[in-house]
């Protein structure tokens, strides 16, 4: 590593685009590794997410939004555990066809969201790809020792809640593909730039029984939570919050909304006697929170229509392969 932005190859590339993003833990991106210390009494929450060109984003998506989506997908995992973000490592497999102008925009997106979410770059790796651009981000956050929200804490009698609105990003992907009208671009924006619920995760950490982020489709993700907690989750389809833009897209999209990916909302369960505290916490964090179902003894996920009849879907959510 060098701090000369004019240096050839990867060293100048890192100096130009990434050294300005590094925090003190990154040691100037000039050592073999980063040094990280959790704050006193805290433990470290760590998650990794990889995004592949033409799989997770379109080659002509704006580079700054690709960067911010990558960071925000990982931030959403921290939110789900009730953690405060600290920093991240970023590995990039870079095709030769992508040049400085692209990565300058990409780094600008990272800088924007570093400021928004209060974290810095700790380190990473840059290398060459013979195929698509591949981005791999590992995020680190702090949570008081033993206090992390888990998927395994749901208990029969809990209510089930979802933040924000569900399905906009899946509809936004269809809009991005020209398969759905999206006059004001609101759905597409939700696909391009998720809004991780950091404040909500923190606010409900000592109230919710279980939490996870909804990233691969509500029904599939609820299934993961049900399984981890060894319970059954029933969801009232009509209660699942939808945006005005999603409603304008019509009722035929129910399956897309409930099984589509990229929401990055939070799914929570809450004991009956803590409902008021949950709603107060959500309100204090400025996040809409909607009751969408209940936790029961049993297994799996059941989605009910207005008449209380089960609805079945062709697939419960996004499969990465």
Binding to a second copy (CB under 8 A) within 61-120 occurs at 76-78, 80-81, 83, 89-94, 96
Asked if residue 39 binds a second copy (CB under 8 A), the reply is no
Q: Does 227 bind a second copy (CB under 8 A)?
A: yes
Among 5, 16, 23, 27, binds a second copy (CB under 8 A): 27
Cα 262 to Cα 169: distance, rounded to the nearest angstrom: 6
Buried b (16+ CB within 10 A) or exposed e, 281-293: bbeebebebbbbb
Cα 136 from Cα 90, distance rounded (Å): 6
By CB under 8 A, name the one of 122, 161, 191, 264 that touches a second copy: 122
**d(C-alpha 104, C-alpha 18), whole Å:** 9
Which residues within the stretch 253-292 sit at the binding site for a second copy (CB under 8 A)? none
Distance CA 281, CA 205 (A): 10
* Residue among 13 and 102 whose Cβ is closer to a second copy: 13
Identify which of residues 82 and 109 has a Cβ nearer to a second copy in the complex.
82
CA distance to 58, 74, 178, 186, per residue, from 51 (Å)? 11, 11, 22, 23
Is residue 194 a contact partner of residue 187, using CB atoms and an 8 Å limit?
A: no
Closer Cβ to a second copy, 38 or 157, answer by number: 38
Residues 242 and 26: their CA atoms lie apart, in Å, by 41
On whether the CB atoms of residues 29 and 35 are closer than 8 A, the answer is no
End-to-end alpha-carbon separation of the chain, Å? 36
Map residue 37 onto helix, strand or coil.
coil
State the DSSP H helix or E strand holding residue 226, giving kind and residue range, or none if neither: helix 218-229
Helix, coil or strand: residue 236: strand
Among 15, 47, 106, 109, binds a second copy (CB under 8 A): 47
How many residues bind a second copy (CB under 8 A)? The answer is 74
What is the nearest approach in angstroms of a second copy to the Cβ of residue 84? 13
DSSP code string of 174-213: HHHTTSS--TTSHHHHHHHS----HHHHHHTTTT-SEEEE
Supply the minimum distance, in Å, between the C-beta of residue 225 and a second copy: 10
Q: Is 263 annotated as a binding residue?
A: no
Q: Give the shortest CB-88-to-a second copy separation in angstroms.
A: 10
251 part of the interface to a second copy, by CB under 8 A: no
* CB 287, min distance to a second copy, A: 17
Pick one of 21, 71, 148, 235: the residue that binds a second copy (CB under 8 A): 148
Site for a second copy in 167-226 (CB under 8 A): 212-213, 224
Smallest Cα–Cα separation from 91: which of 148, 129, 55?
A: 129
Question: Would you state the structure tokens that stand for residue 138, as one six-digit string?
Answer: 């590992």
Binding test (CB under 8 A) with a second copy, winner from 129, 275, 285, 290: 129
CB of 161 to a second copy, least distance (A): 16
* The one among 15, 140, 170, 175 contacting a second copy by CB under 8 A: 140
CB 86 within 8 A of CB 36: yes
Known binding site for substrate: residues?
56, 262, 318
Known binding site for ATP: residues?
124-125, 151, 215
Known binding site for Mg(2+): residues?
32, 47, 49, 77, 125, 213, 216
Known binding site: residues?
32, 47, 49, 56, 77, 124-125, 151, 213, 215-216, 262, 318
């Amino acid at each position: 590593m060098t701090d000369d932005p004019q240096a050839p190859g990867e060293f100048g590339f890192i100096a130009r685009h990434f050294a300005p993003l590094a925090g003190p833990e990154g040691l100037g991106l000039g050592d073999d590794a980063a040094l990280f210390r959790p704050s006193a009494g805290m433990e470290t929450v760590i998650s990794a997410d990889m995004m592949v060109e033409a799989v997770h984003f379109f080659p002509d998506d704006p580079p700054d939004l690709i960067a911010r989506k990558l960071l925000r997908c990982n931030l959403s995992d921290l939110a789900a555990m009730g953690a405060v973000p600290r920093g991240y490592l970023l590995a990039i497999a870079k095709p030769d066809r992508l040049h400085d102008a692209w990565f300058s925009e990409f780094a600008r997106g990272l800088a924007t969201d570093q400021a928004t979410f209060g974290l810095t770059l700790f380190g990473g790796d840059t290398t060459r790809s013979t195929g698509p651009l591949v981005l791999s981000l590992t995020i680190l956050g702090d949570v008081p020792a033993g206090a992390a929200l888990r998927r395994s804490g749901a208990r029969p009698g809990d209510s089930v809640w979802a933040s924000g609105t569900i399905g906009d990003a899946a509809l936004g992907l269809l809009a991005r593909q020209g398969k759905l009208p999206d006059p004001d671009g609101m759905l597409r924006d939700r696909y391009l730039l998720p809004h991780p619920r950091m404040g909500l995760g923190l606010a409900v950490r000592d109230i919710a029984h279980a939490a996870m982020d909804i990233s691969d489709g509500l029904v599939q993700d609820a299934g993961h939570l049900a399984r981890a907690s060894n319970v059954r989750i029933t969801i009232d389809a009509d209660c699942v919050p939808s945006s005005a833009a999603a409603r304008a897209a019509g009722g035929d999209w129910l399956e897309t909304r409930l099984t589509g990916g990229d929401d990055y909302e939070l799914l929570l369960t809450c004991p009956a006697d803590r409902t008021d505290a949950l709603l107060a916490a959500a309100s204090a964090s400025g996040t809409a929170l909607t009751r969408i179902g209940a936790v029961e003894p049993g297994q799996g996920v059941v989605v009910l229509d207005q008449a209380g009849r089960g609805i079945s879907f062709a697939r419960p959510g996004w499969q990465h392969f």
